[in-house]
Amino acid sequence: MTEPPALPDYRGLFDLSEKTAVVTGGCGILGRHFCAGLAAHGAQVVVVDLDQEAAQRFADALEDQFGTGCLGLACDVAQPAAIEAMTARVVDRFGGIQVLLNNAASKSSDLEAFFAPVEEYSQTVWREIMAVNVDGLFQVARAVGGVMAGNGGGSIIQTASVYGVVAPDQRIYQGSQYLGRPINTPPVYSTSKAAVIGLTRHLAAYWGAQGVRVNALTPGGVESGQNEAFKQRYGARVPLGRMARADEMVGAVVWLASDAASYVTGQNIIVDGGLTAW
């Protein structure tokens, strides 16, 4: 009797050791976990953030812990020239870019204005947020995606938000605070994150023939300093009954970056504990 052929060994699909990954907003709440997850799976990680010293310090810590070559770079993604310079430095150092986690976002330097009611919302603040969350995101994708397309492929993962998919329930903000101040989800945030999803689909179709995959990661609410009133109200809206931990977004990132997702593009991967199922 003829033995059936051996099945492939799929364990290597999540190996990122041949990949260089650029993570914008790399020192942020989610960014640090994304960087660690990619480095743990073998990627050379470029930590991109506003502060050069902080970015390099974190890159050094990643290199010490995971043994992969890591680099910290300062870049203001609202400045196209800075994006071009950052991209050129990465290519010069590592020879190419195989993964981009387009993750940088802004909450404004003026939190009072950022959380202002719709009727009082400032056009200046609106443009400040859009300059990073949409304009900067596009400029980074354009620069790095162009490198990927010229080199025969890559994976771009763009961080959106559950509030780019559904509207926030205003009732959860009654008595809610973040780091000691009243909060809400302003319209500029929802609008910018909805734009991330639209841009993701456009770029997936545009670069598909060049082997560049483009997907969005949409986190639900992540614990990061909210008070108990907010966490309880938000958790009551979620089938799993709680907010997410930042580390619970990492598995989706590693999958999308890896060859395990080689036929996945133009998708919005929602990791929200089931909030959008209701």
Is residue 189 part of the annotated active site? The answer reads yes
Question: 56-106, pLDDT tens digit by residue?
Answer: 999 999 999 999 999 999 999 999 999 999 999 999 999 999 999 999 999
Q: Where are the alpha helices (DSSP H) in 131-257?
A: 137-151, 187-207, 228-235, 250-257
Strand partners, 156: 100, 214
Residue 181, pLDDT score? 84
Q: Which domain holds residue 218?
A: 17-269
- H/E element, 171: none
| Residue 7 DSSP symbol | P
Please give the pLDDT value at position 225. Answer: 86
Q: Is 8 a domain residue?
A: no
Q: 236 with 200: CB under 8 angstroms?
A: no
pLDDT in tens, 184-243: 999 999 999 999 999 999 999 999 999 999 999 999 999 998 999 999 999 999 999 999
Q: For residue 179, is pLDDT > 80?
A: no
Question: Residue 238: inside a domain, yes or no?
Answer: yes
Domain-located, residue 192 = yes
Report the chain's mean pLDDT, rounded to a whole number. 96
**CATH code, 186:** 3.40.50.720
pLDDT for residue 277? 97
Phi first, then psi: give them for residue 97, nearest 5 degrees: -135, 125
Across the strands, what pairs with 124? none
Residue 10 lies in a domain: no
Average pLDDT over residues 139-161: 98
Q: CA 123 to CA 18: how far, in whole Å?
A: 44
Q: pLDDT > 90: what percent of the chain?
A: 91
Per the residue annotation, which of 189, 206, 234, 263 is the catalytic one?
189
Residue 204 lies in a domain: yes
**98 found inside a domain:** yes
Residues 6+ apart with CB under 8 A from 256: 155, 157, 213, 215, 217, 264, 269
Prediction pTM value:
0.96
Tell me, yes or no, whether 275 lies in a domain.
Answer: no
Q: Is the pLDDT of residue 1 over 80?
A: no
Query: Is residue 107 predicted with pLDDT exceeding 90?
Result: no
Number of domains observed in the structure of the chain: 1
Q: Is residue 152 part of a domain?
A: yes
Using 50, 70 and 90 to split pLDDT, how confident is the model at 276? very high
